[in-house]
Amino acid sequence: MISKDTEELIIRKYLQGYSRDEIAEQTLTATGTVTTKINEWKRRIGAPDIEDLRQFVIIIRKSGMTIKQLASSFRTLNFA
């Protein structure tokens, strides 16, 4: 059994776009446990679009931007 703090860290890392293996390594948790905790969380929240949001975050991470930078860019475009 893992701590509540570790569960929360797993979900946070998942939403930040980290892979299952990266999350397991960073949290010192078995990959199967990471998968189980993510799947349990997805069922609990019942948000079907969560994977789309995660994929968006992955694209942002790969571009080298942060969410704050992206938000700032959107605000700038809206004022232009």
Instruction: Check: pTM over 0.85? Answer yes or no.
Output: no
CATH number, domain containing residue 11: 1.10.10
Decide: 21 and 31 in contact? Cβ < 8 Å.
Answer: yes
Burial class (CB in 10 A: 0-12, 13-18, 19+), 17: middle
Domain of 33, in residue numbers = 4-79
Number of domains in the chain: 1
pLDDT tens digits for range 12-59: 999 999 999 999 999 999 999 999 999 999 999 988 788 898 998 889
Decide: 10 and 34 in contact? Cβ < 8 Å.
Answer: yes
